[in-house]
Amino acid sequence: MTQRELQHLYWRAGFGINLSNQKISKTDKKTIIEDIFNNSKSISPLTVDVSYLNGIKLKDLKDNPKLQNELREKSRKKILDFNYAWINRLVRPKETLRERMTLFWANHFVCKDNNILYVQCFNNTLRAYALGDFKVFVKAISKEAAMLKYLNGKQNKKRTPNENFARELMELFTLGEGQYSEKDIKESARAFTGYNHSIKGDFIMRQRQHDEGIKTFFGKSGNFSGDDIIDIILRNKQCAYFISDKIYRYFVNPKPNKKHIEAMADVFYKDYNIETLMRFVFTSDWFYDKEHIGAKIKSPIEFLVGMANTIPVKFERENDLIKMQRLLGQTLLDPPNVAGWKGDKAWIDANTIMVRLKLPSVIFNNAIISLKEQGDFNDSFREKYFKRNKGKLPFKTMPDWEVFLDNFKLVETENLQDYIIQGSINNGTSDYLKTLNKKSKQDYCIQLMSLPEYQMC
């Protein structure tokens, strides 16, 4: 397995390779892939402290509007804490592939809520089923408190059916547009009536609000429950193709290859096992084709996490990390709509590209970047710069250059681009790199991260 192929695998199964383990490149492909899956067998829930909610009952909220407002404000702050905790988990994951898959599913089963209990539970449900049985996964999602609130499941009652979840279940979660009729939506919505949850987020089935009548869905009739509807949907191979297509565009290439996607669907349709599907993708020879390496535009989260994976960094103000996400156009736990982020070329516009190109110097070099030939930005200049701009830097960070230098100690500075940049470097950029000062491995790394080519993975 070449270094290039190895980096490609780790950028898709994670957020770049950490060179702290120099022996990995000497291991055969099969063993490396097996280790990736074995390391993600366990599940480590992500949590923040929500003990302030202990003992609070629904009656307490109804009787005390002031308490409601206090808890709502605390929950809002806790969700920001959870965002920060999630970023840290992505930078230093215990189960790398599981965390990568959790991020993927968060933009598939799109959901948003302002209750930290429900947000935390939903996120950990994504994590728990990220590599599991897709059929069980969809059923679990349909019963999540956050999803029931987001798509009006609580308002879906026998006398007044609400079709929001039933529609998105087929259009966005399982089949795609044009694969169902309006009648299928109406009939399936009846099957999900009565779904509700407790104040703690536990699923509750309100039998009195559930429609026990006969439903006709996809040509089949019966007293179907919500779980029955999901079973019927997944019998349609279109579901396996729809999910395979989405996984291909995210993990392989935004430009779909029908032949490869059909092969994926054949594998997935057998038992809807997500791990089996991902193993098929990562072990396929076509996954490592040159056309796929560096073919994806990094999402803002991939961009930020990838940089921090290369150069560990701490933020003095946690809120700065939220600001960065907003500047770049992707804030975890705050999707734009039920369809989620479009991705690919939608990540880049005239504003975000300028932020991306400048951000490495802001985070790792206190907003200074050396883009000229040798001798630029020496120590005396740096000292004068700080005196002139004291207190005006946008973010306060503490990069750990010792770890970076230790991890890349076996890599010559002039070869650093082979590890930092994915895909090919055009002739103009290649000529430009020759002019840069390579005396400092740190400076050269920042310069590489400030290139348009670094936006790709």
Nearest residue to 263 via CA among 276, 254, 14: 276
Q: What is the pLDDT of residue 60?
A: 77
* In the predicted structure, residue 18 carries a pLDDT above the cut 80: no
- 427: which residues sit within 8 A by CB, 6+ positions away? none
Q: What's the chain's average pLDDT?
A: 92
Q: Tokens for 310?
A: 């290369």
Q: At what angle do helices 116-129 and 96-106 cross, to 10 degrees?
A: 120
Supply 453's token pair. Answer: 């080519």
pLDDT at 401: 96
Contact partners, residue 257, CB within 8 Å, separation at least 6: 248, 286
Residue 104: closest CA among 324, 283, 301, 238: 301
Mean pLDDT of 411-430: 92
Is the per-residue pLDDT at 21 higher than 60?
no
Comparing 68 with 331, the larger pLDDT belongs to 331
User: What are the sequence ranges of the domains in the chain?
Assistant: 3-38+237-292, 51-234, 300-455
Place of tokens 């007293």: 223
What is the pLDDT at residue 290? 96
Q: For the ranges 140-144, 214-218, 272-276, 364-368, which has the lowest average pLDDT? A: 364-368
What is the pTM (predicted TM-score) of this model?
0.93
pLDDT at 371: 41
Dump pLDDT digits (tens) for 97-132: 999 999 999 999 999 999 999 999 999 999 999 999
pLDDT of residue 314: 93
Q: What angle do CA 303, 306, 310 make, to 5 degrees?
A: 140
pLDDT digits (tens, 9 = 90+) for 317-338: 889 999 999 999 999 999 999 9
User: What pLDDT score was predicted for residue 24?
Assistant: 57
Residue 68 has pLDDT above 60, yes or no: yes
pLDDT at 19: 73
Q: What's the whole-number mean pLDDT along residues 303-316?
A: 95
Instruction: Dig out the tokens for 434 from the structure.
Output: 């020759």
Q: Tell whether the model's pLDDT for residue 188 goes beyond 70.
A: yes
Please tell me which residue, 266 or 350, carries the higher pLDDT value. 266
CA gap 420, 20 in Å, rounded: 14
Using pLDDT thresholds of 50, 70 and 90, give the confidence band for residue 67.
confident
- The pLDDT, as a whole number, for residue 246 is 98
Encoding tokens for residue 214? 């006969």
Q: Residue 395 pLDDT more than 80?
A: no
Q: Is the pLDDT of residue 387 over 70?
A: no
Pairing of strands 397-399, 203-205: unpaired
Does residue 396 contact residue 317 with C-beta atoms inside 8 Å? yes
Cα–Cα distance for residue pair 121/149, rounded to 1 Å: 13
Query: Residue 119, class by beta-carbon neighbours within 10 Å (0-12 exposed, 13-18 middle, 19+ buried)?
Result: buried
If you compute the radius of gyration of the chain from its CA atoms, what whole number of angstroms results?
24
pLDDT at 391 over 90: no
pLDDT tens digit string along 138-150?
A: 999 999 999 999 9
